[in-house]
Amino acid sequence: MRTLAIDIGGSKFSMAVFEGGRMTLRESRETDKEGGRDWMLEQIIPLARSWRDEAAFDRCGIGFGGPVRYPEQRIALSTHVGGWRDFPLAAYIETKLGVPAIMDNDANVGALGEGLHGAGKSLSPFFYMTLSTGIGGGILDNGAIWRGADSYGGEIGHLTIRPDGPECLCGARGCFERMCCGLWLERDHGKPARELLEDPAFVDQYVVDLALGLKACIMLLNPARMAIGGGIGKAGERLFVPLRAELRRQITAWSGARIDVVPAALGDDSVLWGALALAEAL
């Protein structure tokens, strides 16, 4: 059985082919934000067709960087790239590639990947956060994605952490994503997140907001572990050591909830592995 996995993010997209449980092909490209949906589909379909010719795949799993209405298999919207609102991406892929396809938002799919193959193995509940261009969250309960009543569970990017903070792309003020994601770090401070996080003084101030968002997850879910994926999650111990200390400071004194927060174990491939797991249910 071969599976095509697609990870559509805000600043890049990745595709892979799995043969059984082994990744045999992989490619990652920068996203042309101006090109929107049409540009993206013009990249994905020809690449998938060229792969299909050398290694025919039987099914496709997709992680999309924005809210997805899971039962209808439609993208709700992307706040970062234009043209995706209400788009039935799984049905489109099925028509263009001739294989069954299934999608969910990338944080849910990343949670599945990390939960089954990475940092969350055998741990429940497991919380996965993608911290890159934007912020998304995925909750895994005994290996199953917890989507909530309307597929919008885990959307921590728009928790309010600074009610008087600056306006977010969603229209509210001081959202977790507005205060902590890569897109806004660069806009607010004039440097990419990677550079900013090399400065310990910046990190000490950044982890206060980061911990405010993660504290909400700990108080609500008491997760066995939380893993952070995406570009900023790769900052390593210079981010995670102060982050754990700040969480310890912020978490309500009587709470015995563990503070187990680690980088994603699968690096850039959490969503691809999750897309494989999602497609295995087809």
Q: How far apart are CA 208 and CA 219, in angstroms?
A: 16
Residue 152: strand, helix, or coil: coil
Kindly indicate which of the ranges 82-90, 120-128, 168-176, 222-230 contains the residues binding Zn ion, using the contact rule CB under 5 A.
Answer: 168-176
CB of 104 to Zn ion, least distance (A): 20
Question: Token digits for 262?
Answer: 């680690």
Q: Is 170 a binder of Zn ion (CB under 5 A)? A: yes
CB of 159 to Zn ion, least distance (A): 9
Of 175-214, binders to Zn ion (CB under 5 A) are: 175
Report the candidate in 63, 60, 62 with the shortest Cα–Cα distance to residue 106: 63
Q: How many residues bind Zn ion (CB under 5 A)?
A: 5
Q: Is 147 a binder of Zn ion (CB under 5 A)? A: no
CB of 241 to Zn ion, least distance (A): 28
CB of 60 to Zn ion, least distance (A): 30
Compare residues 73 and 133 and give the one whose CB is closer to Zn ion.
133
CB 73 within 8 A of CB 88: yes
Compare residues 113 and 213 and give the one whose CB is closer to Zn ion.
213
Angstrom CA distances, 143 to 10, 26, 162, 183, stand at 26, 25, 33, 31
Q: Please count the other Cβ atoms lying within 10 Å of the Cβ belonging to residue 130.
A: 32
Stated as kind and residue range, the H or E segment containing 25 is: strand 22-30
105: Cβ contacts below 8 Å, ≥ 6 apart:
63, 64, 65, 66, 67, 68, 136, 138
Compare residues 10 and 61 and give the one whose CB is closer to Zn ion.
10
Kindly indicate which of the ranges 15-23, 125-133, 173-181, 187-195 contains the residues binding Zn ion, using the contact rule CB under 5 A.
Answer: 173-181
| Cis, peptide link before residue 125, omega less than 30° from 0 | yes
Compare residues 80 and 244 and give the one whose CB is closer to Zn ion.
80
CB of 242 to Zn ion, least distance (A): 25
Compare residues 65 and 118 and give the one whose CB is closer to Zn ion.
65
- CB-facing half-sphere around the CA of 73: CA atoms within 13 A: 14
Identity of the amino acid at 150:
D
CB of 270 to Zn ion, least distance (A): 23
CB of 48 to Zn ion, least distance (A): 33
Q: Which residue among 37, 74, 117, 158 contacts Zn ion (CB under 5 A)?
A: 158
Q: Is 168 a binder of Zn ion (CB under 5 A)? A: yes
**In the complex, which residues of this chain contact Zn ion (CB under 5 A)?**
158, 168, 170, 172, 175
